[in-house]
Amino acid sequence: MQISLSELCQSLVDEFAIALTMLKRSHPTVKVNSLKLALGQTGQDIAQGEDANALILDNRYPGSDSGWRLELDLGERPQAKIEGVKRPIVSRTDAMVLDIIADEPVTVIDGISSRWRDFFATFHVTRVMDLVRVDEGQLEKMILKSNSLQVREFRQKAFLLKLPLPALGASDLQNKSLYDILKLPINEVQKSFRHPVTPAETTYLFEVLDLLNVVIDSRHLQKTSLHQLIGL
């Protein structure tokens, strides 16, 4: 499948946004402002007589038939610089619920059985993030091949995960699963936080949990803790 250079850049930025979000949550003192990537076999590699890299982009991406260098500036105004040419890029920085399951297999989405997993794999869709990135053209092909609108339902479920993570502190219930948290009275959960939280903040937490209960397979909810959701 061919994609444009700008689409590749955006895809890379999305991946790094997820990775950096998780890094910040586990190591809050770490800061990353920029990244430099060498993709494919570069002219410098050839000039120095080095072995070719494993990934050669010849005839796959525009810009260079022997690879090229990409720089990402992840500051306040994110931009990409490709072979010295700057271009703005749109990147999100707010942590989303999607971030915590982006790399999980598509089977964590409720209703996606092993049969559907194998179906999606034929379209190179194996992770939740892959499902989020399915465009309308690819979706139409999937619907035609499967003769089912469930494909659209599954993608929409993944889209629903694009909402901000609850901004809450540590809780005495943080090791409980999201499944078990949902079974508790909302006022009990509110009192469990070590720093005061407002009723509105607790309500939003339960809105997120209710959505996850609809979108995510219950077995995955039982394996995911409150600690994993709020990152503390």
Burial environment of residue 151 by CB neighbours within 10 A (0 to 12, 13 to 18, 19 or more): buried
| 193: CB partners within 8 A, 6+ apart | 168, 169, 170, 171, 172
CA distance linking residue 163 with residue 99, whole number of Å: 10
Element (H, E) at 37: strand 34-39
| R_g of the chain computed on alpha carbons | 21
CA distance linking residue 26 with residue 77, whole number of Å: 25
Model confidence pLDDT, tens digit, residues 5-57: 556 666 666 666 656 655 655 565 666 777 776 665 545 554 555 444 434 34
How much is the pLDDT for 60?
A: 41
3-state secondary structure of 70: strand
Domain spanning 97-159, CATH architecture? Orthogonal Bundle (1.10)
How much is the pLDDT for 57?
A: 40
Tell which residue, 93, 58, 87, has the closest CA to residue 75.
Answer: 93
Q: Are 88 and 78 in contact (CB under 8 A)?
A: yes
> Helices in 43-160 by DSSP H: which ranges?
43-47, 114-121, 128-132, 136-146, 150-159
The number of angstroms, rounded, from the C-alpha of 167 to the middle of its chain's C-alpha atoms is: 18
All structural domains of the chain with their residue ranges: 5-88, 97-159, 178-230
Kindly report the pTM of this predicted structure.
Answer: 0.59
- Going from the C-alpha of 180 to that of each of 42, 167, 220, the distances in angstroms are 52, 20, 12
How much is the pLDDT for 219?
A: 92
| Residue in the structure block whose two tokens are 């929409």 | 156
CA distance linking residue 51 with residue 153, whole number of Å: 46
Model confidence pLDDT, tens digit, residues 202-216: 888 998 999 999 999
| Residue in the structure block whose two tokens are 């394996």 | 223
Q: Which segments in the chain show pLDDT lower than 70?
A: 1-31, 37-70, 72-94, 232
Here the tokens at position 18 are 């997820």
Q: Are 71 and 81 in contact (CB under 8 A)?
A: yes
